[in-house]
Structure 1
């Protein structure tokens, strides 16, 4: 497989594979926030999945650039990359939010009351409301 990636026609695939290997070398706190990456015009673009990860990257951008230099020296790949840019892909963030909203289905609990209570209301309207509540409770138990 490596000989295929070294051919000029698969250069882009090789770059993607190498950038994925570089991302696997990053610390876990950074790696978890990456949605995808790509190289263009000698810049490695890293797309983040959430806006909070952008701040984490800004605090550790020097570490990431240092790791890139070490990776370039040791693996002799990604040599054309001279800078790293990060951005938030709101498409991935939107999908994550929608996914979390789908999961957040409210739990439905069974009726815990048996409808056994004394209706001490003296007003006829309030008395009727309590009796309708009792009817709903008994209906929910079925």
Structure 2
């Protein structure tokens, strides 16, 4: 990895079944992630993906790009929900650029979008190069 390298974007399809599986694995059974009526009652447009699930997709892209490299830092702000339709899928796109490589650590600037809108603010990863 070299500073300025553009990492090939990854696309991940998200379904309501994925949200159920994530809720079971994480223990986060907040109904805004599974129940349309509850999601709408709190002002959301529909069921939304867990923020940590969206961040996990970013981590998956980092893993895809770097193989077995150790991730020493991963962070972001949750800025916009990923709305998941009842039927079908929504796609989360993760793109990245190598910002720097110093002392064996590579810093990756990420861009995580859904339907052309950024869903994570200031996402970045630091991996042992």
Tell me the TM-score normalized by structure 1. 0.29
Q: Choose between structure 1 and 2: higher helix proportion.
A: 1
Q: Rg bigger for which structure? A: 1
Structure ranking higher on relative contact order (CA contacts 8 Å, 6+ apart): 2
Q: Choose between structure 1 and 2: higher strand proportion.
A: 2
Tell me the TM-score normalized by structure 2. 0.31
